[in-house]
Structures are given as structure tokens and as C-alpha cells.
Amino acid sequence: MSSPPVIRPYGDTTGDGMIQVSFTLPLPAGKRGEGAALQLAGKMGIDPAMVVHARPIGEQHTFYVVYGRVNHLVEPGKVVVAERDYPLLAPKDVNAAVRARLRRKLVVVGACIGTDAHTVGIDAILNVKGIAGEKGLEYYREIRVVNLGAQVAVADLVAAATAEKADAVLVSQVVTQKDAHLHNTRAMSAAFREAFPPARRPLLVVGGPRFDELMAAELGVDRIFGRGTTPREVASYLAHTLAGAR
């Protein structure tokens, strides 16, 4: 079923243009702060707007939720996203492709780099327990996983990839304050390009909830996985890219 050429957001009835946004202002809670929130909403094109929630965050900041109408239209046909360009494979098919093409186990080194200590994402992809009913890459017989854990320095990641003769390096970044995930990814990709000739460089894959999947080339990596990625998607991508699975 094709999408309509244009659509509007809705809150109460279809096409009413109602949206809800939230933000924090460096103002104490009170009428002046709510007035500032409505002024900001108006400048964002939300009219009429109402403050439906205001919660103090300390003495000098307030979190607001504003509800109101916008006149903007969305054109689904012009939306650009990173589509999956490889088949989604069952574990047995991933194993068969790796065994037939590489004739050895595919080696994956994973880590959270920089100061990022949030290993939930990388563990969900790598650990055998996986996530949402899907087993992680450790479950695949033809994939050998080396999980370095959290707060791994880029130099240590490069050293581990070299020592393990990694085919792919998977990096998770959850901490995004001041674009830390972007800075860390650029530093990581630059380090690998300095340490390896192009023909021997491992596949570089990053993932996290705040990445734009269209930025892979800009960040110097081979693939970006966003929110909701499953182990099967990653395994299928590795098998397709490194073992020619179709």
C-alpha cells in the first residue's frame, strides 16, 4: 500500500496538525517561564499552543511539555532513509556462508569506546542471550566474538583488533552529550585507517540510539546501526559483506 503524497501529524482527530514537544528552559518555574515556553513554541510554528506540563529542575531550570497545532506538511515520498540492502538471514544461513567463503570463523571485536560505560547495547548484540528473543553473535558457531566491554581507549581497540586478526569491529556509543559519539567515532575510524592498509582494515561498524544511519561515509565507518537493531540484522550484514551471503 503506497503512502499518500502529503500527511499531517494528528493528536485528537486525523489531520488536525496537533503535536507535542518537550524542552528545558533555564528559567525558574512560574508564569514568566510558561510565557517564555509559549513564545518559543510560537517561533517554532506551533499556534495555538498550550503548556500542558511544567516541572522544576532545580531552582533555575524548568522542563516543559507544549501541545499545539502546526501547519507543516510531510511528504513521505521525499523521505530519505538508510534502507537495508542485504537479506535477513537465519543463523544457520549465516554460519553456512561464513564456513563456505572464509573457511574459518569470522572474528568480531566489540567495545564501548571513550568514557562510555553503557554496555547494554553492545552486550545485546554480542552476548549469547541477545535481545527480544534473538540470540547474540556468540550464538553463531562460525563467529568468534571478543567483547572488550566498556570505556575502551581507541588505541587499545586497535591493538585488540590487530592481535585477534579481526574481520569486523563493532562499537557502541550511547553517551552523546556534546556529540561525544561523533567525535569518538571519527577518532576511531582515523586510528584504524592509520594502523591498517585499506585491504587489511577490519570492517568498522558503529551503533547507538542517536546516530544518523546516513552518516557512515562522513564518520569514516562502513555501517551505522540505529535504535532497535537486532543481532540477526548485524550478523546478516557481516555475512553479506564479508562472506558474500545472498
CA 78 – CA 65 distance, rounded (Å):
29
- Residue owning grid cell 546478516: 236
Please tell me whether residue 26 adopts helix, strand or coil conformation: coil
CA 210 – CA 227 distance, rounded (Å):
8
Distances (CA, A) of 242 to 59, 94, 213, 215, 239: 55, 11, 20, 21, 5
- Residue owning grid cell 557502541: 172
Strand arrangement of the beta sheet that strand 49-57 belongs to: 18-25, 61-69, 49-57
Considering only CA atoms, which of 165, 162, 149, 206 is closest in space to residue 182?
Answer: 206
| Residue 71 backbone dihedrals phi, psi, to 5 degrees | -105, 0
CA 168 – CA 35 distance, rounded (Å):
52
Tell me if residue 165 is catalytic.
Answer: no
Catalytic residue, candidates 105, 129, 135, 165: 129
Which residue numbers are catalytic? 129
